[in-house]
Structure 1
Amino acid sequence: MLKKSITLFFLAVLCINCKTEKSLELNSANYSDVINKQFTGDLALETTAFVEKYWRVVGNTGFNKSIYKIAEELEKAGFIIEEKATKNDILTYRIEKRALKKPTWESVNASILIEGEIEPLLQHNTNRNMIALNSYSTPTEGITAEVVYIDDIQKLANMDVKGKIVFAETSPYQIFKAAIVDGKAAGIITYDNPDYLQPEKNTTSIQFRSIPLDSVHKPWAIALSYQAKERLKTALEYEKVELKVVVETNIYPSEELTIVADIKGSEKPKERLVFSAHIQEPGANDNATGVGVALEMATLTAKFVKQKEYQPKRTLTFLWGDEIISTRRYVQEDSIRAKDIKWGISLDMVGENTEKTGGTFLIEKMPDPSAIWTRGNDKHTEWGGSKMSLNQIKPHYLNDFLIDKFKAQGKRANWVVSTNPFEGGSDHVPFLMQNIPSVLFWHFTDQFYHTDNDRIDKVSKTTLKNVGTTALIAAYTLLNADENTARSVLSDLEKAAVVRLNEELKQSKIAINNGDALSTQIEIITAWKDWYKNSFETTKDLVSDAKIISKEVEKSQKLIDSITNEIEKILKQ
């Protein structure tokens, strides 16, 4: 009898525990707590380590292995390949295949030796960026030729470089025609590391370079590290220098692979949020980290869906492919689908150990007035941005909504989060070109950007976790947005507008004191007023019926009008 009672007791405890586990249902109140606990960063880091082993160009071995690694992990998580899926399957994926118009390329091996010396000038096993993209192989035994230093590339067209190796401190593209096509040089060697890479500190870094694909001349080009450049220049000071160069590459026909995973929405499946992470690039942070974070986001969401803890009302899509090209195709090839893409987010360089790289996590905003008048705390990165015009800005709540979510995670995790005005250059651009709200998550300045020192030791699991966690919190909020969400977003947006206008008042006072025209400052204030008034209007797309929050939107717009009027009075005093 006692034994039976004990058994019944344990069954009761198990039932209680089962009930507790089943009661977990993700909602806006617990997204942060649950996802912070469940998103470990383990799969993101493991995937980053796998992908970064390869020098990835669309169609080559490393790129394709990365695609199939993603597919393998998606299937483990419960995703079903589309051709085998039924209409009831929520988790699906597909691999799109297209023949490449041009052959793909991959580096295999290379070395440079100064004749008469024992220590190689450069070796591929320590500098995998030394071979310029699209270089052909030398003969197996290599090429030995005199190297000629060009201190003024304008003189190159009039120099006899036939059969010689042209060495210049510029991009290989800059001298390709004059050296290879016209000059019949044996090859090109260049040095072109920008200052933000701190080349005199990171002396072995090589930022990857490329040359035109030329099946006629079958050229090769080598990029030098600062250390190798200085050593070669020193050797040239004393005597004629001959180099033995061995280059081995593969150039072959291939296909372009893109992988797309969907988590189907339960109520509005045609509406979607798309995360895009490009695979090509040679590094770890750029962009194996984006690939890894997106994969863990997808698999964790699949886990929540299978356990019936979370069901998105709108579809969540993950896209992995060739930077800009795959994303552009996704938003252009199906105009009906594109109309229902509500948000696009690019994951690019999202896992940095900032103590090593020097970078800061950034949200690159949709084009707003800070991309026209960049002042105060708004600063462009060293990557740089072109000044925009008023007709290019895109008012929307997405900027401030995401900033709020990431600042909250920054506070929670003691993590630095910042922003930069729109600069372009990644997968957010194709979305914006189709008038789809989109931002970029990234890091800059990175002293190892595009160099062969961008390896797994520069990646932080903690950063991977912070970015992936917050991106999911934001995504789940948007995917299941309702009128309460809309009111909350509108309220936060109103607060952001007030803060911004007060900051712009401060900056305008400084500008006027420095002699700038009042009319210019009024133009800036007006631009921000219009930006926010129009951004308030966009919150209506979070509800099924715009009338639900129309009065709140109008009230916020009137408040901003009132504040702006007061600011203008102050500036005119």
Structure 2
Amino acid sequence: MSTTDPGRRSAASRRRRLPSLLLLLAAALCAAACPAPPDHNPPPGTVAARPAGAAAGWFPDAFDSDLALSLVAFLEQRFREPGNAPYREALDELEARLRDAGFGDDPALRLERWTLHESAATWEPLAATLEIVAPEPEPLLSFVSGADRDRTMLLIGSPGTEQPLEAELVEEGEGDPKGRALLARGVPEESYARLARDHPAFILFRPDARWEGPVARDDAIPFAAVPAREDDPPAVRLSRRAERRLRERLDKGAPVVLRLAAAVRLDRGPVQMLHAEIRGGHLPGLAFAAHLDEPGAEDNASGVAVAAGLAQGIAAALHRVETPPPNRSLHFLFGPELDHADEAGRRLGRSLGWAVALDQVGRPPGPAGAADATRALVERAPDPSLRWPAGVGPGSGWLGSTPTAGGDWSDAPASFLPDALVALLRAAGGDWTSHPFEGGSDHVPFLSYGVPSALVWKFPDPTYHTSLDRLRPGTIDAGELRRVGDAMLELARSLAWEDGSVVAAAAASAAATRLAFLAGGPGDGCRAWAAWIERAAGDLERVLGPLATVEPTAGTLRGLRQDVQAGRAACPPP
């Protein structure tokens, strides 16, 4: 999840269940009573509509949480910026794992690299040390490889030092910064270029001066990016503990001299992404996108691990003779945040039905009752919840967002995808809820191409965009990865191998909830939601295709349409 600006998140730069449960139960009973159709491989151009649950036997233990966790462990050791050596290593590892699952060797399992930039500037932190040398020596921060905890102390894009630099410390606004170590006050992304013009030896940025808000722990070092040129001063981010030690030294009145040594690798090279495809029938495709860049375990090695694990599990099932091909193609996308989703939207947009962005999905929710407890979330596309929540949960709090203050949704595709995701994630385990659109992750580019999309994520996160986002208890949980993976697998099974009735039931339940919340007013909110639900129902029928005419899916959709008409009629007058 990134924070380039409040609209795009880059490093410099988330009830009434009874009707749904009854419908799902009925579908499950039908699946138990009715055997799957004997023709597992229908002729090309036809759609096999199997009852809910009929495909479950083809995917036993399809999501391997231990395998997913091992990928998180590999990725989080590498400071992954687009095109740099750790990013390329991560892409190679991901490709090797997918090839081991059969991608690239089978015409039905396609694997390809897409080049986003033929030659782009790349940056990699190699080592750095910041220490006090006078009046009394004291080490502050250091790392000797991109796997070390303090690796985020160098801001992304910062130049290195040809040799160690020694300079007297001065606070911004307290003296001439030229040739000195400048303790800055502002947010790096906004103030670096201005401060660099005064030619300090190097610049130190406070940990709590950031768009994401104050850090949660004294040893956390936030990462961010600065627009540095080759001859600009190095930029360092402090932990709260390191900042406190510097201020204690300054308060004693004696000059404080610092030494900084920093090694970075600046290069140029191609920036690539991976596209894995399970080829299926002619129904609109389903895409799962997870950005591979940024150094964290939760953000976003976790999302990559779930998407890759899903692809591996389905590919393994397809190697079994009895598993039929899907009714629609499934796409798995990995690359730089926003850019890889934009490329996928450009290349695949017209063929896609829905797209799911997986970004920060491994953190356990909680602690229960805490004001900053991590929530399990699905971010919606722009819709009337921006103004009338109607049972949609509150905003995530990301960047202090207040999404219910207003907004426009007239140009955004209407879709029940977020409601289906919430239902499936709850069924897999956990208190999931949707929240109004805030933007900034990989669902946004798909929306710009008219592809309905949603973001699956966890927030708030005390390690968000800091050095503490590493693989350890409390940050990434194998059970959480498995539950999210199981829910994504159920979405794929329902839409690609079965009759879509599970997804249709979730949509009908969500529509009833929205309309019930607004039956008593306000009238404009009721009418806005009714109009949106009608559009979303049309989108669902588009995604389902011929499956929309098969019972019980067809009956569920008829009931949904009737509920919309009744709800519209019950809306209070203007």
TM-score range, shorter chain: 0.7 to 0.9
Name the structure, 1 or 2, with higher relative contact order (CA <8 Å, separation 6+).
2
Partner of 2:305: 292
Q: For residues 103-122 of structure 1, what are the structure 2 equivalents within 5 Å?
A: 103-116=121-134, 117-122=136-141
Deviation, structure 1 residue 71 = 1.2
Name the counterpart of 1:173. 189
Distance in 2 (alpha carbons) for counterparts of 1:193 and 1:27? 53
Is 1:433–2:448 an aligned residue pair? yes
Residue of structure 1 aligned with 2:158, choices 117, 130, 135:
135
Deviation, structure 1 residue 526: 1.1
Bigger Cα Rg:
1
Match of 1:466 in 2: 483
Matched to 2:413, the amino acid is K
In the alignment, the residues of structure 2 paired with residue 31 and residue 148 of structure 1 have an alpha-carbon distance, to the nearest angstrom, of 66
Please list the CA deviations of residues 236-295 of structure 1 after superposition, one character each: whole Å capped at 9, or x if unmatched: 112221111111111111211211111110x327x3111111110010000011111111
Q: 1:385 to 1:272 in 2, by over 3 A?
A: farther
Letter of the 1:69 partner, please give it.
E
Which string of whole-angstrom CA distances, capped at 9 and with x for unpartnered residues, describes residues 110-148 of structure 1? Answer: 1111123343121224411100011111123x1111111
What is the aligned partner in structure 2 of residue 367 from structure 1?
A: 382
Map of 1:73 onto structure 2:
97
Q: 1:450 Cα shift?
A: 0.8
How many residues are treated as equivalent by the alignment?
508
Work out the CA distance in 1 between the residues paired with 2:559 and 2:366.
Answer: 45
Offset of residue 563 of structure 1: 3.0
- Distance verdict in 2 for CA 1:392–1:379, change over 3 Å: farther
Q: Which amino acid aligns with 2:426?
A: K
Q: Which amino acid aligns with 2:126?
A: V
The answer to whether the Cα contact below 8 Å between 1:197 and 1:446 also exists between their aligned partners in 2 is no
| Greater per-residue helix proportion | 1
The 1:243/1:398 distance shift into structure 2, 3 A limit, reads: same
Deviations 1:149-179, CA, capped at 9 Å, x for gaps: 12xxxx59xx632111211232123222332
* SS across alignment from 1:93: strand
Q: Is the 8 A contact 2:120 2:271 kept in 1?
A: no
Query: 2:73: which partner in 1?
Result: 49
Distance 2:356 2:328 in 1: 15
Contact 2:152 2:466 in 1 (8 A): yes
Q: CA deviation at 1:423?
A: 1.1
Looking at structure 2, the residues matched to 450 and 34 of structure 1 have their Cα atoms a distance apart, in angstroms, of 39
What residue in structure 1 maps to residue 352 of structure 2?
341
SS in 1 for 2:222: coil
Kept after mapping to 2: 8 A contact 1:396/1:536: yes
Compute the displacement of 1:547 (Å).
7.4
Aligned counterpart for 2:495 among listed residues 478, 485, 489: 478
Partner of 2:317: 304
Shift of the alpha carbon at 1:553?
5.0
Q: Quote the offset at 1:538 in angstroms.
A: 2.1
Q: Which residue number corresponds to residue 9 of structure 2?
A: none
After superposition, residues 105-254 of structure 1 pair within 5 angstroms as 105-116=123-134, 117-124=136-143, 125-140=148-163, 142-150=164-172, 160-181=176-197, 183-193=198-208, 202-215=217-230, 217-239=231-253, 240-254=255-269
Verify: 1:395 aligned to 2:414, yes or no.
Answer: yes
Contact 1:540–1:550 (CA<8 Å) still a contact in 2? Answer: no
- The yes-or-no answer on 1:544 pairing with 2:557 is no
Give the Cα–Cα distance (whole angstroms) in 2 for the partners of residues 222 and 195 of structure 1: 14
Of residues 361-370 and 384-393 in structure 1, the stretch that sits farther from structure 2 once superposed is 384-393
Q: CA deviation at 1:201?
A: 5.1
Structure 2 CA distance for partners of 1:314 and 1:166, relative to 1, 3 Å: same
Q: Does 1:62 align with 2:86?
A: yes
Local SS of the residue matching 2:572: helix
Q: Secondary structure at the match of 1:103?
A: strand
Check 1:272–1:123 CA distance in 2 against 1; reply closer, same or farther (3 A cut). same
CA contact (8 A) 1:196 1:382 kept: no
User: What do you get for the CA RMSD once the two structures are aligned?
Assistant: 2.9
TM normalised by structure 2 equals: 0.82
Answer with 304-313 or 432-441: which moved more: 304-313
- Give the % identical residues: 28
Report the CA distance between 1:545 and its aligned residue. 8.6
The change in CA–CA distance for 1:557 and 1:355 in structure 2 (over 3 A counts) is closer
- 2:565 and 2:261 map into 1 onto residues whose CA distance is 68
User: What corresponds to 2:463 in structure 1?
Assistant: 448
Are residues 32 and 523 of structure 1, via their aligned partners in 2, closer, same or farther at CA, if it must alter by over 3 Å?
Answer: farther
The SS at the match of 1:363 is: strand
Structure 1: which 5+ residue stretches go unaligned? 1-22, 509-520
Give, in whole Å, the separation in 2 of the partners of 1:224 and 1:452. 11
Query: How far has the Cα of 1:408 moved from its partner?
Result: 1.5
- 1:552 and 1:290 mapped to 2: Cα distance? 32
Match status 1:272 vs 2:291:
no
**Inter-partner Cα distance in structure 1 for 2:199 and 2:355:** 47
Counterpart residue identity of residue 92, structure 2 = Y
Supply the distance in 2 between the matched residues of 1:259 and 1:370 (Cα, whole angstroms). Answer: 34
**Do structure 1's residue 96 and structure 2's residue 114 form an aligned pair?**
yes
8 Å CA contact 1:169–1:192 kept in 2: the answer is: no
* TM-superposed deviation, 1:358: 4.1
Q: Which residue of 2 aligns with 1:494?
A: 508
Change (3 A) 1:195 1:396: same
234-243 vs 356-365, greater mean Cα deviation: 356-365
- Structure 1 residues 101 and 372: alpha-carbon distance in aligned structure 2, compared to 1, 3 A threshold: farther
**Aligned pairs (5 A) from 1:374-389:** 374=389, 378-383=393-398, 384=401, 386=403, 387-389=406-408
Report the counterpart of residue 535 of structure 1 in structure 2: 536
